[in-house]
Amino acid sequence: MVQSGERPTGPAVPVPTKQYNAKVIPRADGDLLIEGPVTAPTLRSLVFHQGLKAFRPADRQQKALIQIAELPEGRIIIARRRQLVVGYVTFLYPDPLERWAEGSMTDLLELGAIEVAAPYRQSGVSKALLEVAYMDPAMEEYIVISTEYYWHWDLEGTGLNVWKYKEIMKKVMGSAGMDVYATDDPEIASHPANMLMARIGRHVPAASVERFHHLRFINRPAF
């Protein structure tokens, strides 16, 4: 999970406005509302499903998401059944300790986490979270990356091996236009199931795209 910390110190450009969007997923046991970006006060008023524990216990995860929602660039999209949050996806600037923060890019966000409680999987919730996130035209101003590490995946809960889970993640992220990109990042390269995925918005300037590609291969020897 990406943590909040020092923010990029690149060119002073306005943070794009966050446009609220929503959609409904019908379910026999009660419709799910997919909505966001949601505010910190909204997150405080809700209850998190106890199954949202991939990164930390649900109550602590709720506090972490509230902190992200308070950031100028932070975006939280949630899936909820009435007052119960059953899924979420987060967007924020990369952790300052990661290479992706080295460029101090104000137009590069990291999809820090996407999680759905087990009873609500297999309903297209993950894809819907991403769909709602990209309904906001401002997302076309960003490069969005996702660093996928197999040790974050719920292999035990799903009964899938790393290769099947990887294919599922590629399909889910691919539904939002994210593609797999090669990189020499040591953590990603440490296991063949790990991967870097990214979506380059239509309005991202060429200089930012070039900077992103440079960050992918920082360790490449110069000859």
Residue 16 lies in a domain: no
Predicted TM-score (pTM) above 0.75? yes
Does a structural domain hold residue 11? Answer: no
Tell me if 88 is assigned to some domain: yes
Rounded to whole angstroms, how far apart are CA atoms 1 and 22? 24
Which pLDDT score is estimated for 1? 41
- Confirm if 86 and 79 have CB atoms less than 8 A apart: yes
192 lies in some domain = yes
Name the residue range of residue 212's domain: 21-216
Given a cut of 50, whether residue 46 has pLDDT beyond it is yes
Q: How many domains does the chain divide into?
A: 1
Q: Residue 10: inside a domain, yes or no?
A: no
54, exposed or middle or buried, with CB in 10 Å at 0-12, 13-18, 19+? middle
- The verdict on residue 168 lying in a domain is yes
What pLDDT sits at residue 221? Answer: 54
pLDDT tens per residue, range 118-164: 999 988 999 999 999 999 999 999 999 999 999 888 888 788 999 99
144 belongs to a structural domain: yes
> Does residue 223 lie in a domain region?
no
Cα separation of 32 and 186, whole Å? 39
Query: What is the domain-level CATH number for residue 127?
Result: 3.40.630.30
